[in-house]
Amino acid sequence: MHIVIPGALPEPEVAAELAPHLAQRAPTLARWLGRGTPRTASCPAADTWCTPLEHWLLQARGFAPAQDEHISAGLGPLRLSVADDEPVWLAELIHMAPSRDGAALLPADTLAITAEQSAALMDTARELIEDSGIALTQDTPDTWRVRWSGPVRLACASPALVAVSAVNDWWPQDPAARPWRRLVNGLQMAWHEHPVNLRRQRDGLAPINSLWLYGGARRTQLGRPLPDELRIETALQAHAVAQDWGGWIEALADLEQRCFTPLAGAAPTLVLTGRERTVELDARAGWLRRLRPLDWRRWWCAR
């Protein structure tokens, strides 16, 4: 079994203060951490253009980026299973909001988008889409597949990464992105007072006012399936991003009761992610490691 825990690697100066709380509130996790040999991987956003969780998932799938691709290109075929071997470009329905850094992105998984809302927005956009020369198909309520009239090479960041940074840092500026930028500008105007968004605002929901492009790799660039019995536990992630360490401790205690304690007799492979790194370790151990576990605080708090 693999248990992946995004947000479980705080920055070193914070980790030193949180380590006693982890030992006390999540003893099963602490015992697992002491049994395995950690394998640390650096995954800076400037290189990967995706989150550490996405980076690990793509590596687990054996994704092989082309020479001129960031690993984030693999998110297309990772997210959307297709039968063809065409490049898988995706457009995620998002909310774009002004911020101190220019603009902030709310990804689709925070917006509760229904199939009916997605279809209504697509209907309004149909004429704009036809005029753009870019084909869009509604594959899921959250995500539309993008097809270009010819080969396109663009570097596009994961919407999950953009959501925890700033849109201006990742907005594609190269000439090849001009048709996409024109289409998105038109969609933003067409959807500004769309009945779907007026209704969402009355219901206290953020409007769906833009699309975010990402992906671009092919299905055959994924070399293997994900591990069997994979669990991704995201309870710590939002607290880590917000640096809400009180909430992080409480969420960790809940994970201990809900996830770790029922599996106390197991020996899972653990994957912990931080801001720009991952640590993977196998909690299986021989008798000596069981008698003399490693001091996990040394690597968990290390710079």
Averages of pLDDT over each 10 residues, the chain, 303 residues: 96 94 96 89 96 98 94 97 94 90 90 97 92 92 94 93 92 89 95 96 97 97 95 97 97 97 90 96 64 79 81
Residue 206 domain boundaries: 63-221
Report the alpha-carbon distance of residue 123 to residue 181 in Å, rounded: 19
251-278 tens-digit pLDDT: 999 999 999 999 988 889 999 999 999 9
| DSSP SS3 for 244 | coil
| DSSP SS3 for 71 | helix
Distance set, CA 256 to CA 37, 52, 230, 239 (Å): 21, 23, 17, 16
Distance set, CA 265 to CA 34, 145, 272 (Å): 15, 43, 20
Q: Closest by alpha carbon to 190, among 93, 137, 125? A: 125
DSSP type of residue 88: -
State the residue for tokens 């980076």: 55
Residues 211 and 245 in one domain: no
Residues 112 and 179 in one domain: yes
**Residue 54 placed within a domain:** no
Question: What is this structure's pTM?
Answer: 0.93
The pLDDT value given to residue 213:
97
Residues 206 and 236 in one domain: no
Looking at residue 187, its amino acid is L
CB 28 within 8 Å of CB 260: yes
Residues 283 and 216 in one domain: no
Final residue of a domain: which of 203, 221, 239? 221
Final residue of a domain: which of 199, 221, 243? 221
Residues 204 and 255 in one domain: no
**Residue 68 placed within a domain:** yes
Residues 80 and 195 in one domain: yes
Element housing 212 (H / E): strand 210-215
The pLDDT value given to residue 236:
98
The pLDDT value given to residue 288:
46
**Residue 33 placed within a domain:** yes
Final residue of a domain: which of 175, 193, 221? 221
Report the chain's terminal Cα–Cα distance, integer Å: 28
The secondary structure of the chain in percent helix, strand, coil, rounded to multiples of 5, reads 45, 20, 35
